[in-house]
Structure 1
Amino acid sequence: MPKPCPEEFRQDVVRVARNRGPGVTVEQVAAGFGVHPMTLWKWTRRADIDDGTKAGTTSQESAELCEACRRIKVLEQENEVLCRAAACLSQAHLPGKGSTCS
């Protein structure tokens, strides 16, 4: 997988593509910067969404959602550990039962 381009480079390429002169195609701009035309199209679409000119989930919202999902997963794992510990400790205090926790 190719290494991702720096954000500043992406912004520069998108700016040039948006401000290209008449008769200059997106393919020509992409070739001039050494990126695939579809990549430039995706960068332009992402920039439009981030700028609010197109509907969609912005990069920041997407990053926040990914972070929230990661945090939820950790909390669910911690909750499972606590539930198992509570069940183990409650059985350890039953009459005639030894500690079954391992």
Structure 2
Amino acid sequence: MAEGRYPSEFEAIRSIAGKLGIGSPETLRKWLRQSEIDGGARPGKTTQEIAEIRELKKEVAELRRANEILKAASALFAAALERPPKY
């Protein structure tokens, strides 16, 4: 990119987004920022870290559901043990 060709980074991003057929310059800007984070040039969560966090959140939700099921089953079995036997 030639020096002075674009008055600002935004103008450069807008121009490139248009040439690439990307609907919104904001999309390209976000990709650029994430690329800088992934490359270590900017602080933030990397794409890999974001994916890992997403997977861990899914796992936590699944384990919480399983825990609720086990609690309900435990309460059901405890109630059955407390009933006097039928003869």
**TM-score, normalization by structure 2:** 0.79
Q: Report the Cα distance in structure 2 between the residues aligned to 1:86 and 1:79, rounded to whole angstroms.
A: 10
Is residue 13 of structure 2 the alignment partner of residue 26 of structure 1? yes
Structure 2 unaligned spans of 5+: 7-11
Partner SS state of residue 82, structure 2: coil
Q: Report the Cα distance in structure 2 between the residues aligned to 1:97 and 1:85, rounded to whole angstroms.
A: 20
Displacement, 1:96?
Answer: 2.7
Mapped contact 1:26–1:37 kept (Cα < 8 A)? yes
**TM-score, normalization by structure 1:** 0.69
CA, structure 1 residues 97+88, in 2 after alignment: closer, same or farther (shift >3 Å)?
farther
The number of residues matched between the two structures is 79
Partner SS state of residue 52, structure 1: coil
Structure 1 unaligned spans of 5+: 1-19
Partner SS state of residue 96, structure 1: coil
Q: Which residue of 1 aligns with 2:37?
A: 49
Displacement, 1:91?
Answer: 1.1
CA-based RMSD: 1.8
Q: Report the Cα distance in structure 2 between the residues aligned to 1:27 and 1:79, rounded to whole angstroms.
A: 50
Q: Percent identity?
A: 32
